[in-house]
Amino acid sequence: MSIDLKTVQRIAHLSRLKIPDTELQQVQGELNKILAWVEQLNEVNVTGIEPLANVNDEALRGRDDVINDGGKAADILANAPAKTADFFTVPKVVE
């Protein structure tokens, strides 16, 4: 597959790139090289190879999902400008 200058201009327009006319030939050559490289991938024999979702098949170590308050309420509220019991006190913002 080969890309012509009209296709390069359309790709530039769709990708919101302003490519000067003097650089269109260079971009065309680069895109054609990329497509040639991608076409080489068709030559790879992949029969009998299962697709991978992840190259690492190991499961992630998990931890127990334990609900707690962290035991740091006093430390957290130590810097609060205003507090009531174990909560931050904030000014009313609704009239």
pLDDT at site 79: 86
Q: How far apart are CA 77 and CA 60, in angstroms?
A: 35
pLDDT at site 95: 74
* Global confidence as pTM: 0.50
- Within a 10 A sphere around the Cβ of 48, how many other Cβ atoms? 5
Q: Which tens digits make up the pLDDT trace of 13-70?
A: 999 999 999 999 999 999 999 999 999 988 999 899 888 777 777 777 888 888 887 7
> For the chain, which residues make up each domain, given as ranges?
5-43
Q: With bands split at pLDDT 50, 70 and 90, how would you rate the model's confidence at 71?
A: confident
Element of type H or E holding 83: strand 83-84
pLDDT at site 68: 81
